Amino acid sequence: MIGKTLGGRYEIIEELGSGGMAIVYKGLDASLGRPVTIKILRPEYTTDYGFVRRFQREARAIASLSHPNIVSLYDVGQDGNIHYLVMEYVHGDNLKAIITREGPLAPARAIHIVCQICEALTHAHENNIVHRDVKPHNILITREGWAKLSDFGIARDVTGTTLTYTDSFIGSVHYLSPEQARGQLADPRSDLYSLGVVLYEMLTGSVPYQGDNLIAVALKHIQDEPEPPSKLNGRITAQLEGVILRAIAKDPSRRFQSGRELSLCLREALSKSKGEPAENGAFENTATGLLEPLLEGEEKEEPDIAVIKKRKIRSLSVLIGSLVLIFVLAGAAFAFNKFYFNVPEVQVPNVVNKSQKEAENTLKNLGLRVQVVKEHNDDIAEGYVIAQDIGPDDPKVKPPRRIKLTVSLGKDLREVPDLYKLTLLDAKVRAARAGLKISEPVQEGYNDNVTEGCIYQQYPTAGAEKPAGSFITVYVSQGKNLARARVPSLIGLTIEQAGEELKKINLKLDESFQWANYDSPDYLSGQIISQEPKAGSDVTENTAVKVVVSRGPGPLPTEVQVKIPVPDDGQNHEVRISLKDIRGTRDVYVSPQASGDEVNKVVRFYGRGIIRVYIDGSLVKEKTYD
């Protein structure tokens, strides 16, 4: 791009920097011979309607403002596929670079800069413009010390009548107000919060909230309290600290309600600070109350003779200029009378719902001029007139009066992007770029092919066309749909026994089991005394169960003698003795017995024991021993 001339007038000289949406160049206005700043929309976004609209929005925002502390807009244009803005070139550096280079600034200097930006924001807010991206990168400091606010690329009209707003996450997160971090609408107090963060950084050298990622920083703006700036810079007085903390209060109602209110409190804090002189020859302007720099070489008074000479020359110039103006006005009055008052008035016909060509021909045949603006409309077909600023119900007009026609571009249809396998955050960004939104709350479901947390299905499908602002329903994967199992009780089992039990239901034992750090009087060494998940928990297959194993010594053994008479009926019978204690349930005696025999068996158990006697499979005796 270096060396290219845009619009036959603006020559690109060198690149100054770049952002996410545009590249900024230093240029030369060949017509006026002055340096300018040229902001060019990145080539990859020239076909993206959303980015072009944001770029045009910045032009409208700056064009509606005129203030010495706001970078001026000179021109807006398009050269082929190149969209560009031509703005005032500021000789100096941005505030972020100054803070990085010099570290914390003196309170007087910092307040001087912030008060100027307060004036800029006040002017913008009074014109219903919210900047929404106030940060030191967008504050330019001239060589003389003046501050200028730039980059209205994501500005929003408070009334919502000319500029649009999307719910996408916009702005630099370290300077983002809590309400913006929550996705809520920004208002003038949001800009003052961001400016408060800038002031905090100017005085301490660091922003109040930092984190490992953007989401973490945004959450801190919502939840955390900042470290008092006086702990980072001892030159910050208690009153100045109070102003800073009020500016960055989380509740907008507790902040300053206007830039002028913040400026006033800052100047009051500065005037009450002890031993803090203004820097760099700054003086206080009695008209505004702001600290202003004294330009190098500027004289406070001129000699009387020089003043007199200047006044004489000025008077002569005024006289000559007045005569020229009289002649010009006389000629203009003559021409105006001839070409305007002698032209008969005409009634403007109704051309709404007519094609653009038919409407233009109708109006031009009456000697009227036509201005056409185009916008999308869901009800009027493309190429047909939606509205006109002057119509048959208005008074007659004199040709060649210009009639403004609003012509339909048809429905504002957007192509639905492919969101398959994207995270929800990435999907929201891609949908916002297409002028669409993600429906909330999102749907969830299991999917074997898509990673947990990513989208596996969407409606409408990718490639479909939907009106701008339409919602896309997405389905977020919860991972593979694994079978479920209920965890059995492993208490009292050995490691080997527990492993076998879990294997039966497709669960497994965590091999890194732990030994208990205390002696257990209830369980023998090697028995499981606790488990996680608990018995009865519903888990997915292949879940590993953690266990803690007793190191003993456990209870002392108890022995009892069991006597069982066998029925005397001339037949053989099977006798079985079953024992349940802390080691589990098991058979301690199983044997066939002749008719009329008596079984006499000593049974040993640990802890509480339950002995059951079965003859030919039928329970004939049960006794519990504690």
Is residue 199 situated within a structural domain? Answer: yes
The confidence band for 162, taking pLDDT boundaries of 50, 70 and 90, is: very low
* Shared-domain flag, residues 434 and 568: no
Query: What is the arithmetic mean of pLDDT over 385-403?
Result: 91
Instruction: Calculate the average pLDDT of the chain.
Output: 84
The confidence band for 75, taking pLDDT boundaries of 50, 70 and 90, is: confident
Residue 274 pLDDT exceeds 50? no
Is residue 348 situated within a structural domain? Answer: no
pLDDT of res. 46: 76
* Shared-domain flag, residues 44 and 136: no
* Shared-domain flag, residues 197 and 286: yes
CATH number for position 451? 3.30.10.20
Over residues 231-251, the pLDDT tens digits come to: 999 999 999 999 999 999 999
Residue 112: its H or E element: helix 107-126
Taking Cα atoms as reference points, which of 272, 255, 296, 273 lies closest to residue 118? 255
Higher local confidence (pLDDT), 44 or 438: 438
Is residue 349 situated within a structural domain? Answer: no
Is residue 301 situated within a structural domain? Answer: no
What range defines the domain where residue 531 resides? Answer: 484-549
Residue 440 pLDDT exceeds 60? yes
CATH number for position 23? 3.30.200.20
Where in 285-401 does DSSP place strands (E)? 291-292, 369-375, 385-388
Query: What is the arithmetic mean of pLDDT over 8-17?
Result: 90
* Shared-domain flag, residues 451 and 518: no
* Shared-domain flag, residues 239 and 275: yes
Choosing from 88, 121, 143, the residue where a domain stops is: 88
Tell me if residue 391 falls in helix, strand or coil: coil
Residue 361 pLDDT exceeds 90? yes
Q: Could you give the number of structural domains in the chain?
A: 7
Residue 549 pLDDT exceeds 60? yes
Q: Which residues are tagged catalytic?
A: 133
Is residue 304 situated within a structural domain? Answer: no
CATH number for position 599? 2.60.40.2560
* Shared-domain flag, residues 250 and 142: yes
Is residue 300 situated within a structural domain? Answer: no
The Cα 118–Cα 267 span in angstroms is 12
Higher local confidence (pLDDT), 527 or 53: 527
Is residue 68 situated within a structural domain? Answer: yes
The Cα 518–Cα 173 span in angstroms is 51
Is residue 78 situated within a structural domain? Answer: yes
* Shared-domain flag, residues 194 and 96: yes
The confidence band for 305, taking pLDDT boundaries of 50, 70 and 90, is: very low
Where in 135-256 does DSSP place strands (E)? 139-142, 147-149, 156-157
Query: What is the arithmetic mean of pLDDT over 557-564?
Result: 92
* Shared-domain flag, residues 107 and 176: yes
* Shared-domain flag, residues 526 and 581: no
The Cα 418–Cα 412 span in angstroms is 19
* Shared-domain flag, residues 336 and 376: no
Query: What is the arithmetic mean of pLDDT over 210-220?
Result: 85
Choosing from 549, 567, 588, the residue where a domain stops is: 549
Region of poorest pLDDT, from 266-280, 423-437, 479-493: 266-280
Over residues 105-134, the pLDDT tens digits come to: 999 999 999 999 999 999 999 988 888 889
Residue 559: its H or E element: strand 557-565
Choosing from 477, 496, 514, the residue where a domain stops is: 477
pLDDT of res. 279: 40
* Shared-domain flag, residues 99 and 237: yes
Query: What is the arithmetic mean of pLDDT over 213-240?
Result: 90
* Shared-domain flag, residues 188 and 274: yes
